[in-house]
Structure 1
Amino acid sequence: MSTTAFTPLTTTDSEVLITAAGRAAEAAGVAVSVTVLDAGGHLLAFRRDDRAVLISGETSTRKAYTALQLNAATADLVDLVKPDGPFHSLPTALDRPLLFIAGGLPIHRDGHLIGAIGVGGGAPEQDHGFAATALDAISR
């Protein structure tokens, strides 16, 4: 049985992600919270801007968790949970902290899911953009 080696998400990676997302948000004049989870859903890093609304901490964490569990950008899942969507009952069917609002992205390395990032505090499209900027920072 062969296994493919890959590097898991590290605390150094998580700091790069947090910093890149924070800088992107600051440049846009938006105060956010950023959460980074490892592949097991464990918290690697969290930062809330002093000016960010308190609930952004919870939303960033739930977005990251949702992106990790479903291995998909939360922006791509929004329509699936609308009343006529195929996953309409998913948010209430499970006792899990899922949140189907743009701003959560899975993190892959060498074809493996290694974690997720969630950003909360801006408009959903902004949060998604800040998370994508962060992913670009660790893929260089």
Structure 2
Amino acid sequence: MIDLATVRRAADAALSRAAELGLSVSVIVCDDRGHEVFGCRGDGASWQTVEIARAKAQTAASFGRDSAALGTMREKWPDVFAIANDALPFRATSLAGGLVVIRDGRTLAAIGVSGALPDQDVEIAEAARVLL
């Protein structure tokens, strides 16, 4: 389990990295079950980035892998995503920027970032993941 102070430091690290890159993003941190622990919309980030970041984090937590890694699965087995989107309380996504945190072989948390280009979202999320 991760504590709120750690989650906030991680989210701050992501927002700091985004600011260094001159970007405005939203950051969501979820627990191992995809339940939001902390979320924020950075200054200047558009409103929809919050929901996209949330979907990225929830997907990474629920599937136990980074959201972008699900692209191949989505192409090969589209029914998995169709079923997941019917069964899960959120829409699964293969957009880059959802990173899973695994410790001792178990999912601990996930972070989602949205508001920049896919590679930038990943870079920003990585700045947080190293602190979780």
The TM-score, its normalising length taken from structure 1, stands at: 0.84
* Paired residue total: 128
Alignment of 1:102-117 (within 5 A): 102-117=96-111
Specify which structure has the higher proportion of helix. Answer: 2
Counterpart amino acid of residue 131 in structure 2: A
Following the alignment from structure 2 to structure 1, what is the Cα–Cα distance between the partners of residues 102 and 9? Answer: 15
Query: Residue 45 in 1 paired to residue 63 in 2?
Result: no
Following the alignment from structure 1 to structure 2, what is the Cα–Cα distance between the partners of residues 13 and 31? Answer: 22
Which residue in 2 is equivalent to 1:93? 83
Following the alignment from structure 2 to structure 1, what is the Cα–Cα distance between the partners of residues 77 and 126? Answer: 25
Of residues 10, 25, 40, the one that matches 2:18 is 25
How far has the Cα of 1:99 moved from its partner?
1.4
How far has the Cα of 1:67 moved from its partner?
0.3
Following the alignment from structure 2 to structure 1, what is the Cα–Cα distance between the partners of residues 24 and 72? Answer: 26
Following the alignment from structure 1 to structure 2, what is the Cα–Cα distance between the partners of residues 16 and 35? Answer: 12
Please list every run of 5 or more consecutive structure 2 residues that lacks an aligned counterpart in the other structure: none
Following the alignment from structure 2 to structure 1, what is the Cα–Cα distance between the partners of residues 77 and 122? Answer: 21
Alignment of 1:62-73 (within 5 A): 62-73=55-66
Following the alignment from structure 2 to structure 1, what is the Cα–Cα distance between the partners of residues 49 and 42? Answer: 10
What's the RMSD between the two structures over aligned residues? 1.4
Please list every run of 5 or more consecutive structure 1 residues that lacks an aligned counterpart in the other structure: 1-7
Runs of at least 4 residues off by over 3 Å: none
The TM-score, its normalising length taken from structure 2, stands at: 0.89
Deviations 1:56-75 (A, max 9, x none): 00000000011011111112
How far has the Cα of 1:88 moved from its partner?
1.9
How far has the Cα of 1:112 moved from its partner?
2.4
Following the alignment from structure 2 to structure 1, what is the Cα–Cα distance between the partners of residues 110 and 15? Answer: 16
Q: 3-state DSSP class of the match of 2:101?
A: strand
Of residues 116, 126, 130, the one that matches 1:132 is 126
Deviations 1:73-108 (A, max 9, x none): 112222321xxx223233322223211100001112
Q: Is the 8 A contact 2:7 2:29 kept in 1?
A: yes
Which residue in 2 is equivalent to 1:34? 27
